Amino acid sequence: MEKRIRVPEPTIARLATYFRCLADLSDQEVGVVSSEEIAFRAGVKASQVRKDLSYFGEFGVQGLGYPVPRLLDRVASILQLDQQHRVALVGAGNLGTALAGFPGFARWNFHILWIFDSSPAKVGQEINKITVEPTSSLPRSLAADLGILAVPGPAAKDVAQLLVDSGVTALLNFTGAHLHLGSKVSVRNVDLTHELAILAYHARRPDPTPES
C-alpha cells in the first residue's frame, strides 16, 4: 500500500462522488473526461474538480481532459476502495435487511460478512447468505474494519461500543443517536429525518389545508 495522503474531510466526500461518476464513465467505456463533465455529474463547479484533483498530482492533459481509467484507479487508491472492506452489521430489521441486500456495496468492495441482532426471532435466520448471530456474542475479535448500526436509537450507544471493542474503527450510524466514541473511531451519521427536514425548507405546499 502506498503512503497515505492526509486529505480534508470535504475533499474526501467529493472524491467519493467523483469515484462514482468515473466508475459510471468507465462502464460506458469513456476514455477521457473533462473537468466540466465530472463537475456536471457531481453537482460541483469545474474549478473545484480541478482543485481537488490537482491535490494528488497532475492528471489532466491541457485541452484534452482526464484519462478515465487512470484517474479512477488513483481515486480508488486514495479512498482505499481498491481494497476489500469487511463489514459487520448490527440490526436485522427492515433497514438492516435492506442494507444487507444492497447491490451497490459489493461493487465498491464492501462486503457485509457478519449480521447481528438481539431478537431471538432473528437469530439463526439467513439474510443474503449470512446467518444472523446474537448481539450478545459481542464483543469478540471480528476481522471487520467497518461497522453499520441499524438498531433502534436507545440501543445505539451500547452496540457501537460492542463493535469498537470488537476492533471496528469506522461506523456508519443509522440510529439517529449522537455517538462520542473518541478520536480513534470515525463515525458517519445517516439521519433520515435530517435529510427530510432540509427538504421541508424547500418544499412548496401544494394544497394549503386549514389545519396547517
Question: Residues interacting with a copy of itself, by CB under 8 A?
Answer: 7, 9, 12-13, 16-17, 19-20, 41, 43, 78-81, 83-85, 87, 93-95, 97-99, 101-102, 104-105, 107-110, 142-146, 167-172, 176, 178, 186, 188, 190-207, 209, 211-212
Nearer to a copy of itself, 64 or 98 (CB): 98
CB 170 within 8 A of CB 147: yes
Nearer to a copy of itself, 61 or 106 (CB): 106
**Got the DSSP string for 184-198?**
TSEEEE--HHHHHHH
Q: Give the nearest distance from C-beta 80 to a copy of itself in angstroms.
A: 5
Nearer to a copy of itself, 121 or 199 (CB): 199
Q: Give the nearest distance from C-beta 54 to a copy of itself in angstroms.
A: 19
* Burial environment of residue 44 by CB neighbours within 10 A (0 to 12, 13 to 18, 19 or more): middle
Cβ count near 172 (within 10 Å)? 18
3-state secondary structure of 208: coil
Cis amide prior to 139 (ω within 30 degrees):
yes
Give CA–CA dist 33/41, Å, rounded: 11
Give CA–CA dist 57/165, Å, rounded: 38
Nearer to a copy of itself, 17 or 118 (CB): 17
Q: Give the nearest distance from C-beta 13 to a copy of itself in angstroms.
A: 6
Q: Give the nearest distance from C-beta 61 to a copy of itself in angstroms.
A: 26
Q: Give the nearest distance from C-beta 50 to a copy of itself in angstroms.
A: 20
Nearer to a copy of itself, 61 or 196 (CB): 196
Give CA–CA dist 58/112, Å, rounded: 35
CB 78 within 8 A of CB 97: no
